[in-house]
Amino acid sequence: MTAATRQEQLAAIFKSATVIPVLTIERVEDAVPLARALVAGGVRVLEVTLRTPVAVEAAKAMIAEVPEAIVGIGTILNGDDLAKARALGAKFGISPGATPELLKAAAASDLPFAPGIATASELMQALAAGFDLVKFFPAEQSGGIKALRALAGPFPNILICPTGGIGEANAASWLAEPNVVAVGGSWLCPAADIRSGNWAGITAMCARAMKSLKPA
């Protein structure tokens, strides 16, 4: 897969998503019912973060048992994490930031990948490595929509998935920006709902969000 094809594939996944839930899974047994609840609410593109000891097993279970879900791996910090995501059968990878080593490993991999950036210099490094779709993180804390517009000035062709501080109240404002292909956030699956197994509540929240955020 060429770098351009890989980026086109990632852009298609993100554009189809609108909202990508950022999932931090504490118990493996929650993985499949959570994925099914999200898919039932119209949310198919999922980011499982490598933030817990069970993250890999949780992602593996989702990929095996919920084929309608498009499962990606988040919180990729190094080449080993990238290789792990690829071996799992993940459809894409996302990082909160990007070291030169990670960008090099990602450029050599055929896994569609979005490096994290927060500044113009970081964005330039990502572009130099062949990545024109990036995660803007932490979005609100890094200056919000004003900062995104400032970055889009000298880099008009970048595609962005902002994550960090985005929720039901401001997701539509971010999605209205021409460079934004999707937003990431954890508000669709609150930790309390996951812990209590409130799958119907998560499905209802997803359905409401997808209805209100889908472009006309």
Choosing from 68, 135, 140, 214, which is the catalytic residue?
Answer: 135
Helix (H, G, I), strand (E, B) or coil at 25: coil
Say if residues 133 and 14 touch (Cβ distance below 8 Å). yes
Helical H segments across the chain, by residue range: 3-17, 28-40, 55-65, 79-88, 100-108, 120-128, 144-152, 171-175, 191-196, 199-213
Rounded CA-CA distance 166/20 in Å is 11
Say if residues 26 and 53 touch (Cβ distance below 8 Å). no
Rounded CA-CA distance 103/126 in Å is 7
Q: Active-site residue 84, yes or no?
A: no
Rounded CA-CA distance 47/20 in Å is 7
**CA angle at 173 for the pair 15 and 70, rounded to the nearest 5°:** 25
Q: Active-site residue 177, yes or no?
A: no
Q: What is the DSSP letter of 7?
A: H
Choosing from 47, 60, 84, 122, which is the catalytic residue?
Answer: 47
Catalytic residues, by residue number, are: 47, 135
